Structure formats: C-alpha cells, structure tokens
Amino acid sequence: MSSVEVVDVTKSYGEGVGVQALKGVSLTVEKGEFMAIAGPSGSGKTTLLNLIGALDLPSSGAVRVGGQALSGLSRQQLADLRRDKVGFVFQAYNLIPVLTAMENAEYVLQLQGVASQERRERVKAVFARLGISDYLDSWPSKMSGGQQQRVAVARAIVPMPAVVLADEPTANLDQATGRALVAVMRELNRERGITFVFSTHDPMVLEQADRVVRLVDGLIASDSRPPKAAPSA
C-alpha cells in the first residue's frame, strides 16, 4: 500500500481571481520512500505538504494517507488521522515550551492512550538513536536549534506514522548540524522503513533524496530519481 496518494489536486486562496497555489497535482508516495519536494518560493511546496498532512483541504481533487481518503472526514476524524498517520517536523520546531524534551516527544503517544512505561521506553530508544539521550529532561529553551529539531524528529517518528512530513527541516540549522540531522533521518528511513517527504531548497537535502519532485507555479515540472554517487574507496 502506498503511504500517500494525491490525485489531480488544486488549491486556491482568496475570493474572485485569488491565488491558485496548486493546479492539478497528482503524486503517489510509496511506503519507505525518502522524497524531496523542491521548487522556488511560492511554487506550492508547503501547500502540498499541508494538504498531505490534513492541515488544509484541497479545492478539488483527492488526497489519501495510509489508505484513508481525507474527503468527507469530520474535523475530529481529520485530527485523529493527523495523530495516528502523520508525523510533522516543522522548520520552527514547534515544541511545547512548558514541556520537557521527553514530554514533547511522548505527547502524541499520550493522546493515543499508550501506557506511561511504554511511552518512556519508546521515546528513550528513539532519543538514543538520535544522539540526544542526555536531553530527556531538558526544556526546549535550554537546547540548541539542532537539539530541538532532533526532539521534533523524535516526536514525529515515535508513533510510527504512515508518513513523516518535514517542511524545510534544515532551514534554521547551520550546514554541519543540518547534514547530521538529515543523515540520521536517512538511517531511520533505511532501518525502519519510515516514509519521509521533505519540502526543501537545500542542495544537501536534495542530494540525499531517492526521489525529487520539482514544483513550479503550482505544477509538477519534473519527477526524478537522481543517480547516487558511488562510495569512495
């Protein structure tokens, strides 16, 4: 089963002439893909991620996530779908400031009704994998940008959603920290089969992607699988 299906989706904002952010986009993301959505500012990258993540609804067309069609769902059903099938990594981190790193990462599990001990075990295992075990009890305000972004990644992947959506995940990080973060996400993709979809204009992220979909003026301009460089001897 595919993780995401987008079928002839349009999205318009405003009355009258308005702005058409997407103009008939169709896209299938298979389970386990590590895919980047690229394009200039205003091309529709974030709009497409928001539609896949059920943060917004299309003007026309269909979106399915983990086999579930979004059309016709109630607000509560959409909230449940976001909770259970979609992980989000925002460029602004969006951690809850009054919760520790551990509490932020286990928040979705708590909403899902997972028992306390299992929540802590799952979060600790992911923090160890991300190299942030020393920050379980830290407040977001006391952590660096790279550390906060890793907590955001942990929060996204701990529930094992159908897809993790990352909107410009390296935008606020220096090059070395951004490269390290993408490397960890790449390893999680390979080891656990987690599906990742990024919006990005960062060449370093694009180099790591198995597939690059380029948007221009709300349309898919290209959909390619860049060749990987052979490892150095």
d(CA 156, CA 68): 19
Q: What pLDDT sits at residue 185?
A: 86
The single-letter code of the amino acid at 228 is: K
Residue 21 belongs to a domain:
no
Give the domain range for residue 146: 31-58+73-224
Question: Which distant-in-sequence residues (6+ apart) come within 8 Å of 229 by Cβ?
Answer: none
- Cα dihedral across residues 32, 223, 180, 45: positive or negative: negative
Total of domains in the chain = 1
Write the CATH number for 88. Answer: 3.40.50.300
Q: pLDDT at position 210, please?
A: 93
Does an H or E element contain 152, and which? helix 145-157
Among 93, 90, 94, 96, which residue's Cα sits nearest to residue 46? Answer: 90
pLDDT (0 to 100) of residue 54: 92
What's the burial of 63, exposed, middle or buried (CB within 10 Å: 0-12/13-18/19+)? buried
Q: Rg of the chain's alpha carbons, rounded to an integer?
A: 18
pLDDT tens string, the chain, 233 residues long: the values are 678 999 999 999 877 667 889 999 999 999 999 999 999 888 999 999 999 999 999 999 999 998 889 988 999 999 999 999 999 998 888 999 999 999 999 999 999 999 999 999 999 999 998 889 999 999 999 999 889 988 999 999 899 888 999 998 888 888 888 888 888 888 889 888 889 999 998 888 898 899 999 999 999 999 998 776 544 44
Rounded-to-integer distance, Cα 219 and Cα 210, Å: 20
Residue 15 domain flag: no
pLDDT at residue 19, as a whole number: 85
The closest of 207, 214, 156, 149 to 178, measured between CA atoms, is 149
Domain membership flag for residue 122? yes
What distance lies between CA 98 and its chain's CA centroid? 23
> Which residues in 39-151 belong to E strands, given as ranges?
60-65, 68-69, 86-89
Q: Is residue 22 part of a domain?
A: no
Say if 233 falls within a structural domain: no
Q: What is the pLDDT of residue 179?
A: 86
The answer to whether position 204 is within a domain reads yes
Tell me if 150 is assigned to some domain: yes
Closest CA to 35 of 201, 215, 169, 211: 211
Residue 8 lies in a domain: no
- Please answer whether residues 222 and 43 qualify as being in contact, where contact means their C-beta atoms are separated by less than 8 angstroms: no
How much is the pTM?
A: 0.88
* C-alpha pair distances (Å), 145 with each of 157, 180, 186: 19, 13, 19
Our CA angle for 131, 227, 196, nearest 5°, is 40
